[in-house]
Amino acid sequence: MTLDKLTGGLPLARLISIVAIAMSVYHLVTAYFGTPIAEVHLPVHLGFALVIIFWVYRSAGTGAWRYLHALRDLTLTAMAVGGCSYLAFNADEVQQRMLYFDPLTTEQLVYGCVLILAVLEAARRVIGWPLVFLGAGALGYALFGNLLPSPFWHRGYSLQAVIETTYLTQDGLWTSPLRVTASYVFLFVLFGAFLVASGAGVFFTDLARSLTGKFTGGAAKTAVVSSALMGSLSGSSAGNVVVTGSFTIPAMRKAGFPGRFSAGVEAVASSGGQFMPPVMGSAAFIMAEFIGIPYIEIAQAAIIPAILYFISVLAMVHFEARRLGLKPEGGSESALRVIKQRGYLLLSVVVMLGTLSSGYSPSLAALYALGTLVVTQLLFEPAMRSEFVGNCLKAMDQAPRIIGQITIASAIGGIIVGVVTQTGLGLRMSSIVLDFSQGYLPLLLVLTMLCGIILGMGMPTPAAYIILAVLLAPGLVEVGVPLLAAHLFVMYCAGISAITPPVALASYAAAAIANADPWKTSLTALRLGLASFIIPYMFVFGPAILGIGDTSQMIFDSLAALVGVLALAAALIGWFLIVLNSLIRLVLLSGAILLIMPGLTGDITGAILITGAVAYCWNKARQAEALNIQQTQG
């Protein structure tokens, strides 16, 4: 018996596409007419995602193993559909049982167990063992925490109690991470898929090239700008590398940049997309739900740090191009011409921002942006009309495949959140970290960042953020860090793992395109993205750049940080007007760190150091120029 026979003669790939398109249609319909109650909406979303994962991420096997693998995947599909369908079809009963404290039935226990097992297996397939160990470890902790010593001890819970919390309440699988993914994030992912299908990747690359291509290092600057534009909408580091990197990395290599540097630039720029408004990846939507601050306020607060991040990368690209002696390329189209050709693609982004700024829900903003994109494409590109239906179906097929990783990360995150809440681990973890750091904020921040990088290795940013937000962000708030600054700090910690060895997914994806060594690419990306490790400390110690506090202080801190990141870029690349020796690089690095970290004394000291280094470089550059003129005339 073949898989085609199992599916009634329909090719498996086509069947998966039908299920994926059905998932997209479901979300579009519910976004327009209103979502069902959570007990229906979330299981339907998770069920769709699980089915797609089990048949997209599968090992077909050979010979007799092929049938065993098919049977395994069919069993997992039945487990996922059964566990989710029970809740969707018995939503009223599930709601009522909590009012009367009805005991868990055998049927509910079985469905809960099989769904949790299906989620863990899906996590193994799309993310890897680390997240599986975290999810299974959390469940094991809930069951056997009574065997642990203090301060991790708790009274222990029965299997029935753990399954009840995880499966039948809003404190487990169905907590805010999955709710946000199902209600908001999917629509933004679908919008991103429509953008890619409409050729937005090429448009953003052309627009970036028109703005930067005539300058020194233009090819690499094009990569930074195009990846920032596309990454701010897609929010996926590795995914954005694949979309824009296929254009930008070959262009950088052709312009004279080394392969690992080209790949590192693309990885760092794509990773920065999840910090750049308007979309910022799904972690920002989950953050809004966690801390009760409207998403648009989070996006506004994140603007200055994100701009500093990309200015740092652009400066490093410029200094590297000058160090290598590369010349401006020229020959690119004007920005006005590019916008005239396909500028309608920007209108959908404007509609999204306008809807969010007006106070409407993110789901409505994504829906309006998607509708605007579809209508404008039909109006302004007659040549695309013949391909319109195919492009729409392609986008609706692709989005559910992309959302699977985020959905499973959110589900596992929900399990962890439920266990932390049920056992009281969150309060104890904050106390443990605070005790270890003795309440000393710099040490506490360093410990939090290390945990974030380790948890984020090989893991999507939303999953790492959820864990950090539950376990460590409360400790930061407890020692006086503003709530928004604390959660943005842990989001940066979770996001920079995409470029941090040894498991740097964005760097590995870029290295594959550039045919470069993955480890060397990761180290190069780490150096190029060093600002992302410093900026989070900057807005914790100086939250004015997040718009918290006085406007004049925000302007002063932002300008000081701007000079700091430029000096940091020069120190790391080793060029500013001249090739820098080790002493000048050290002076610039010290001054940069002092300027980036807010504080009047540090700002004055940092400014003096940087001014001295710049004066030295300028003087040496003039001497070299005068000598060159003398030699030429002689």
Each residue of 258-272: pLDDT tens digit?
Answer: 989 999 999 898 888
Judged against a pLDDT cut of 70, whether residue 634 lies above it is answered with no
DSSP H helices, 165-236, are 176-180, 186-197, 200-212, 218-234
Query: How much is the pLDDT for 331?
Result: 58
pLDDT digits (tens, 9 = 90+) for 558-615: 898 899 899 999 999 999 989 999 999 999 999 988 887 777 888 899 999 999 999 9
Do 447 and 471 form a contact (C-beta atoms < 8 A)? Answer: no
Mean pLDDT of 379-401: 83
Name the average pLDDT for the chain.
85
Q: Which residue has the tokens 């991040």?
A: 309
% of the chain at pLDDT higher than 90: 28
**Residue 467 confidence class, pLDDT cut points 50, 70, 90:** confident
Q: Which residue has the tokens 């109690």?
A: 161
**Residue 41 confidence class, pLDDT cut points 50, 70, 90:** very high
Judged against a pLDDT cut of 70, whether residue 1 lies above it is answered with no
The helix/strand/coil state of 170 is coil
Question: Whole-prediction pTM value?
Answer: 0.80
Do 168 and 94 form a contact (C-beta atoms < 8 A)? Answer: yes
Query: How much is the pLDDT for 339?
Result: 84
Query: How much is the pLDDT for 60?
Result: 65
In order of 268, 439, 579, the CA distances from 526 in angstroms are 8, 29, 21
Query: How much is the pLDDT for 605?
Result: 92
Mean pLDDT of 490-512: 80
Given CA atoms 581, 583, 586, 592 in this order, what sign does their dihedral have? Answer: negative
pLDDT digits (tens, 9 = 90+) for 70-79: 889 999 999 9
Q: Quick one: 626 exposed, middle or buried, by C-beta within 10 A (0-12, 13-18, 19+)? A: exposed
DSSP 8-state secondary structure symbol assigned to residue 165: I
Query: How much is the pLDDT for 25?
Result: 95
Q: Lowest mean pLDDT: which of 441-445, 502-506, 538-542, 626-630?
A: 502-506
193 vs 501, residue with greater confidence: 193
Judged against a pLDDT cut of 90, whether residue 19 lies above it is answered with yes
294 vs 331, residue with greater confidence: 294
199 vs 551, residue with greater confidence: 551
Do 230 and 244 form a contact (C-beta atoms < 8 A)? Answer: yes
Element (H, E) at 579: strand 578-579
Judged against a pLDDT cut of 70, whether residue 68 lies above it is answered with yes
239 vs 434, residue with greater confidence: 434
Do 408 and 53 form a contact (C-beta atoms < 8 A)? Answer: yes
Q: Which residue has the tokens 């222990």?
A: 156
Beta-bridge partner residues of 578: 576
Do 595 and 607 form a contact (C-beta atoms < 8 A)? Answer: yes
Judged against a pLDDT cut of 80, whether residue 240 lies above it is answered with no
Distance in angstroms (rounded) separating the CA atoms of residues 546 and 538:
10
Distance in angstroms (rounded) separating the CA atoms of residues 352 and 356:
6
% of the chain at pLDDT higher than 70: 93
Judged against a pLDDT cut of 60, whether residue 6 lies above it is answered with no
Contacts of 31 (CB under 8 A, 6+ apart): 187, 363, 364, 366, 367
Question: 3-state SS of 442-502?
Answer: HHHHHHHHHHHHHHHCCCCHHHHHHHHHHHCHHHHHHCCCCHHHHHHHHHHHHHHHHHCCC
pLDDT digits (tens, 9 = 90+) for 79-131: 999 999 999 999 888 888 766 667 888 999 999 999 999 999 999 998 788 88
pLDDT digits (tens, 9 = 90+) for 298-335: 888 989 999 999 999 999 999 999 998 888 766 567 77
Mean pLDDT of 511-531: 86
Judged against a pLDDT cut of 50, whether residue 65 lies above it is answered with yes
Do 80 and 86 form a contact (C-beta atoms < 8 A)? Answer: no
